[in-house]
Structure 1
């Protein structure tokens, strides 16, 4: 949904979320947005005086920000049925929505976004009242809801769609989404991994010489992370519609994302590096004013200032985990250079300069997308009182006024204004992309594509702008020099290399690549001097200033210099209020009795990758559900078992246990989520085929239609009744073939055969959905 607003922890969307506002996608309006005063003097002053927007464009820019954002949605790329639905939209629905007037006012029909490939993204500018009362648009709304439910359509802000499009993801890539919730961009990453999958799977099914153990499915993997446990489950809900066995969800602070282990070809464990990384980081969200009330109500410059260092840390951590030659896309829904160009320049500097990290020129990508180049320099920093600073030296010399300016750090300022364009050491910030609301009726956004050229060891320490405050604090404990122990701790922690490069043999504990570098856990536990402990209770008051983001990081806690803490009496330890412990992921051996019974009942092909079935309980017993993952996901989960990595989700539910009343009946029914993975490998003994629309319609509308005795035929399942009658009790697969005048696309459903009836095993919401045919719009 278009970037992330400010969060209290890296990768965490709590406390406002990712531009939640009143985001009623699909209506064209956001609650009673017209009644919200779109005014904020400091916000207007900041961007008017910043020089980012040319004076001749200012009125268009500011007027656009004050308008409600159009609704946008996209079709699931690479999914054959979704492409069929797109055809239905273009050929059947849109003609009925063109040239409509409602209450005497012309109403604009939905239109494709010209810059999005293959017309897969569309925009709707119709207001909620029109959609609710105008019959053609009411039907169109029903169409959107139904197709979203079954995973053919995703509703997503237009600018939010850009970062995944410039990542150049291939099906074999290992991809990390560092701050993923709520998951709209993650869905795009998954779709890219599964591009053209259906064609490859069909080829593997039909050609027995194709036997690489994958069944034609992609070898790549998407790991999606969020620091907020509850929002990580929102992420799971958003991506579950895609039914991808190539997805893992984790729950970690993105600034300290743990190194993951994986076995190499020799069976030795090594640290996993990523081909592509998306760092859509927490930001102030000032580009979301068109859909988020809070920007107009709450915006002030401290939002960007407080998040700058967190954003740098996330980007640096991502660069450490990236493969040499890999790409990381950094993006925000902010227009502020402090959160954008300043972060990119700081991260490149901390990682060793352009010899190790460079900005790629993506001006040839998405040619119809209107954008502006990144700001090469000259930006300034505004404090919360509206005062401007052109350099950190001005801040350093200014009256500190307690802690008001202590959050401003050197890396927020342009550092290369004096370098010429011909200087090869100059960071080419103009290669960044800026999207403004007035250019193509969107929100504001920032995107940069960086390429890793060489391995990154220990990164440079951050230069904090707390010199005077720290000096005051140190003077109270007798360490008055600028190189006091507090500063030493900061340098030590920031110098820890978080991605060791050595490998280990099976069962050994990995060690950092250099003996001079300690593990992060050691640095956390062994580098807190007594002087720092005293600082925590001896610092001057900040007069109610917000907590800063420039403190010394100690594990998951942050000690912020400049914040008074009063001594308190020791209290008994409290029970942890953290997220509940996740059930482990246990893979089943291929000779497990349950898998053998399933294989026999469904006549499952021996070429199907049965090594990737798993359950979620400590004992590894298939008691209720069996899940399926791809091989790389299995490697990651098993290699990191027992570590501190917090895996939240992985796998597609393939089988569910069903209560059966007869002996000899396989109780494991195929789950609808896993049907697309299994159906091509199931033998004909458990397959029922249909072609007529009335058959599917009858099964969708009627629960448990009767299977009549031989010689009798009912009205609901007449076409398939004889075939179903001959099946033994249990689950089978209904395959609907495309037929002229009936269905455009091939479809597959799980079907349960009982003694005297049958039933489609579909969720209630999906039963309401009726697939489109040749003769109507499927409404």
Structure 2
């Protein structure tokens, strides 16, 4: 049976299902209306729990419950580090948002999107437009296509508002080494990548993001999210967050423990704050879930925090964000509504379900020193969001086994309190006398020796406070292809270097491929720091993906001076090192190149024509620089990969990226033409064979 026949049969089966969309059914959280009952947004146990603990400020209960029962507003975030951010913001505000004014859908006035008051530079917006309205309304069809296309291009992210808060408060900088412990699906990870690339003139920031998730399938969703941003500084790994391997790096020929500057730890939770988008929580919520995830979440946190940490006061860091302080007193409730005020009240038969760490400290001085009021609790009714909890922990002093001196107060490197680098291994127990602990470590002991000494000593053996014994690494899913760095004497590189006149500073040792046998078909690049991590930890961790594609082999590359063509995915990283094969084009040239299949040389401007006419066939770079004397023209640079044929030029740019540039130039792209516009570069097709020979 052919593909079309199978597709037709599946379509017919779908149409015959009761309650299907074709039958007029409408989908809700439980399934299709008519096939399944509507979920009632009530849970008496949930209400009893929240009211007893006074989680909601007095007098706000009705507003709180009313907000929970309303659909969650749609929110979007503009990718902040790209030079196109201002152009996208201008396009949104002056075109698409203006078209929404005075618009009604099904008798309901459409709310014009508003910026999130606490997100910097108007780069995040929210609206009452649901996906259902966007898809069904002809008036909103162009706006919906814009959102879909720009999201695929990595220029927009549809991300829940409260999810944007932790990366902002993490205060990451381009030189920071960051661990994202429970990263999938990746919206926070993309924010961290943006922070690394705050200066677009630096193709390889010193910092990097290692994004981890325990779910193998969700790791590939994470890869998709991260690859939209085209960064050589991201690595996706697949481990249980409670036992991420201790990594090593080479420091001047000596193996040292990898120390992280920032750790984002989005641990499993009870899901209360997701009721507005995951309405199944209404009927499934129970304290049993909370008690279960508390133990697993604590394991993960222990691999991220240390006894020298304290809660940071971030109350002034996001002006406009409404929140309430963390609680310092609470009780624990069982699934049947029984309360326990302290661990002493818990009967022995409950000790496997309820644990001492679920209660606040009994010592008033210790409780006060914790400053739990510095935690942020975001309630749904305060700013029409989901619910969220944020705790920012800052390392104020070195670990007892860590001889690296802490940064001094007042050091201008960090605007917040100083944060000495931290290894991922936790401390679980502490010696009663820190001075006694210090004396057990040899003077001048390195970080690595100290961590290994503490680890080998166990949690409390000999009074040493250190990480728990390492757990055996568990591997999930399929075995990944290897990451093989190109040897310095590999004969494939000199022709590439000569053809593109690569700058001597080009880091060729950062090139890698995913095969050990046969021809190398695609070449990727990582930053120097991630190369260090890969080379020294291949047996310790399961890497799902890293690097950015910069070159693809032509099937008939032997006919040309170079067998590898440029890949659009990595062109912004690679371009600063290329000194040949560059054609400077005007904005009119860009329009021609993006709207015509194989424009002849003569269709280009005289300046572009004079550059391309005597150039040898093969891969080229097409560069547009904005003219500051023409404020109405596109004011962000564009770098495109192209191919110089016998008599014509073509671009090799993914469809959505092509549409993005056309929109930024103010050109209207018909909705029915979007599916046909452009050609996806990710297929690795051979430009020498594509299209009519000219």
Which TM-score band applies after superposition, normalised by the shorter structure?
Answer: 0.7 to 0.9
Q: Among 239, 242, 253, which residue is 2:240 paired with?
A: 253
> For 2:514 and 2:600, how far apart are their aligned partners in 1?
37
1:70 equivalent to 2:70? Answer: no
Q: Which residue of 1 aligns with 2:378?
A: 435
1:176-215 aligned at under 5 Å gives the runs 176-198=179-201, 201=202
Q: Counterpart of 1:390? A: 341
Provide the residue aligned with 2:523 in structure 1.
626
Aligned to 1:89: 92
Residue aligned with 2:75, SS: strand
Partner Cα separation in structure 1 for residue 53 and residue 480 of structure 2: 48
Where do 5+ consecutive residues of structure 1 fail to align? 1-27, 202-215, 321-350, 459-492, 524-551, 558-575
Instruction: State the alpha-carbon separation in 2 of the partners of residues 251 and 362 from structure 1.
Output: 31
Question: Map of 1:645-660 to 2, 5 A cutoff?
Answer: 645-660=541-556
The C-alpha deviation readout for 1:88-131, integer Å capped at 9, x for no partner, is 21223322222323454322111111111111000021244543
- Check 1:514–1:146 CA distance in 2 against 1; reply closer, same or farther (3 A cut): closer
Are residues 772 and 456 of structure 1, via their aligned partners in 2, closer, same or farther at CA, if it must alter by over 3 Å?
A: same
Aligned-pair distance for 1:370? 0.2
Partner of 1:126 in structure 2? Answer: 129
Query: Alpha-carbon deviation of 1:635?
Result: 0.9
Tell whether 2:278 aligns with 1:292.
yes
Give the TM-score taking structure 2 as reference length: 0.79
The answer for the alignment partner of 2:532 in structure 1 is 635
Q: CA–CA distance in 1 between the matches of 2:526 and 2:475?
A: 31
> What SS does the aligned partner of 1:262 have?
strand
For the residue of structure 2 that corresponds to 1:290, the secondary structure is coil
1:362 corresponding residue in structure 2 = 314
Distance 1:32 1:444, change over 3 A: farther
CA contact (8 A) 1:383 1:405 kept: no
Name the CA shift for 1:298/1:592 in 2 (closer, same or farther; >3 Å).
same
Alpha-carbon deviation of 1:242? 0.7
Structure 1 SS opposite 2:173: coil
Q: What secondary structure is seen at the aligned counterpart in 1 of 2:280?
A: helix
* Whole-angstrom CA distance in 2 between matches of 1:634 and 1:772: 37
Deviations 1:643-685 (A, max 9, x none): 22222221111111011265343120111111001123222x4
Question: In structure 2, do the counterparts of structure 1 residues 457 and 616 end up closer, same or farther at CA, with 3 Å as the change threshold?
Answer: farther
Partners of 1:93 and 1:732 lie apart in 2 by: 34
Q: Which residue of 1 is the match for residue 456 of structure 2?
A: 518
Q: Deviation at 1:231? A: 1.2
Kindly provide the CA deviation profile for residues 8-32 of structure 1, in whole angstroms up to 9, marking residues without a partner as x: xxxxxxxxxxxxxxxxxxxx99787
Matches of 1:390 and 1:36 in 2, distance apart? 33
Residue among 140, 146, 150 paired with 1:137: 140
Q: 1:770 to 1:632 in 2, by over 3 A?
A: closer
* Structure-2 change in CA distance of 1:516 and 1:157 (3 Å): closer
1:222 aligns with 2:209: yes
Deviations 1:544-573 (A, max 9, x none): xxxxxxxx999469xxxxxxxxxxxxxxxx
Match of 2:301 in 1: 315
Gaps of 5+ in 2: 1-26, 402-426, 432-440, 462-467, 671-694
Residue 750 of structure 1: CA displacement? 0.5
Q: CA deviation at 1:139?
A: 1.9
Matches within 5 A, 1:546-565: 555=471
> Which range moves more in the overlay, 760-769 or 728-737?
760-769
Cα contact 2:524–2:549 (8 A) shared by 1:
yes
Change beyond 3 A, Cα 1:61–1:32: farther
CA distance in 2 between partners of 1:281 and 1:504 (Å):
36
- Deviation of the 1:73 alpha carbon: 0.7
Change (3 A) 1:438 1:605: same
**1:523-672 matched pairs, under 5 angstroms:** 555=471, 578-618=476-516, 623-641=520-538, 643-660=539-556, 663-672=559-568
Q: Secondary structure at the match of 2:347?
A: helix
Does structure 1 residue 419 correspond to structure 2 residue 364?
yes
Q: Deviations over 1:29-86 (max 9, x none)?
A: 9787994321222222221222111341111101111110001010111211122111
Is the aligned partner of 1:305 residue 2:291? yes
**3-state secondary structure, aligned to 2:456:** coil
Q: CA separation in 2, counterparts of 1:261 and 1:217?
A: 21
CA contact (8 A) 2:591 2:662 kept: no
Q: CA deviation at 1:696?
A: 3.2
Taking a change above 3 Å as real, the CA distance of residues 374 and 622 of structure 1, as seen in their structure-2 partners, is: farther
Q: Which string of whole-angstrom CA distances, capped at 9 and with x for unpartnered residues, describes residues 683-715 of structure 1?
A: 2x411222144x434433443x1537xxxx4x5
Q: Which deviates the most, 511-520 or 358-367?
A: 511-520
Q: How far apart in 1 are the matches of 2:497 and 2:130?
A: 53
Give the Cα–Cα distance (whole angstroms) in 2 for the partners of residues 616 and 511 of structure 1: 34
Q: Does residue 356 of structure 2 align to residue 410 of structure 1? A: yes
Q: C-alpha offsets along residues 481-535 of structure 1, whole Å, 9 cap, x if unaligned?
A: xxxxxxxxxxxx97699xxx99999xxxx766465753899x9xxxxxxxxxxxx
Instruction: Report the Cα distance in structure 2 between the residues aligned to 1:591 and 1:118, rounded to whole angstroms.
Output: 47
**Which residue pairs with 1:454 in the alignment?**
397
Give the structure 1 partner of residue 421 of structure 2. none
Cα 1:706–1:108, aligned 2, differ >3 Å: closer, same or farther?
Answer: closer
Aligned pair in 2 of structure 1 residues 514, 678: CA closer, same or farther (>3 Å)? closer
2:594 — aligned with what? 700
The Cα shift of 1:133 comes to: 4.9
In the TM superposition, residue 136 of structure 1 has moved relative to its aligned partner by 4.4
Alpha-carbon shift at residue 296 of structure 1 (Å) = 1.2
How far the C-alpha of 1:591 sits from its partner, in A, is 4.1
1:611-635 CA distance string (max 9 Å, x none): 311122346x761111111111111
CA 1:261–1:310: 2 relative to 1, 3 Å = same
Give the secondary-structure state (helix, strand or coil) at the position aligned to 2:352.
coil
**Cα separation, partners in 2 of 1:514 and 1:647, compared to 1, 3 Å:** closer
Partner Cα distance (1:147, 1:318) in 2: 35
**Structure 1 contact 36–293 (Cα < 8 Å) conserved:** yes
**Alpha-carbon separation, structure 1, partners of 2:267 and 2:367:** 29
Retained in 2: the 8 A contact 1:94–1:109? Answer: yes
- Match in the other structure for 2:41: 38
Conserved? CA contact 2:216–2:238, under 8 Å: yes
